[in-house]
Amino acid sequence: MLGRDQMSVFRNLVRSPAGEDLDRMSYELQAVIGPEEVLRAVAAEQPGAVVVPLRQGFALIPMTDELFDAATDGSRGDGLRFWKLPGGFEQVLADWSTAGPLGYVEAGYTGGVGTQRAALWSGGELAIGPMFVDVNEPFPAIGSPISQVLAHLGATRRRRDADEFVSVGLDRCRETDAWLEFDSQR
């Protein structure tokens, strides 16, 4: 279970659009994140990839079931210990990262308890991670795995009480597939 400090931080990081308390709600995300221009360039190669703009010039590609099915090469794909990284997709991420750095991130929370996983690819190779925070583990002092990847990508904190996760807008949707609807409403 997260400690009181980490729980209050997470509540501040992830709010529903209606401001509902996430103490009783869930949050899940599986996505590729990077500079919008990089993701737009590489997504054209990948069936099922939808680029959703974030703040600060970033964007994400939600790892939907459609993208997962289109991207998998049939191998197990669990060598990096992500839940929804398609088999062979780590090589796709490495290839894409020759156009610019990008991260793959996953988060799963229910009732304020959960996990985060994140890794960063740059220059054609895995550069950072994968990093994990599992159930009952506090975030490191330097930030959650997702915030660390965002910081390495160049995201900055906009407010003193918000980290990179909030600053780029990852608190806007609570489910991976909801990003597709959010993008269509822009």
Tokens (6 digits) for 180: 């597709």
Helix residue spans in 23-177 (DSSP H): 36-43, 65-71, 89-96, 145-153, 164-167
Q: What is the pLDDT of residue 177?
A: 84
Q: What is the pLDDT of residue 97?
A: 96
Q: What is the DSSP letter of 23?
A: G
Q: What is the pLDDT of residue 152?
A: 94
Beta-bridge partners for 61:
32
Q: What is the pLDDT of residue 4?
A: 36
Q: pLDDT of the chain along its 186 residues, tens only?
A: 333 333 334 444 444 333 445 455 788 899 999 999 999 999 998 899 999 999 999 999 999 989 888 887 777 656 777 878 888 889 999 999 999 999 999 998 887 788 889 999 999 999 998 988 887 777 767 778 999 999 999 998 877 667 888 889 888 888 888 888 865 444
Regarding pTM above 0.85, the answer is no
Closest CA to 61 of 76, 46, 78: 46
Q: What is the pLDDT of residue 136?
A: 75
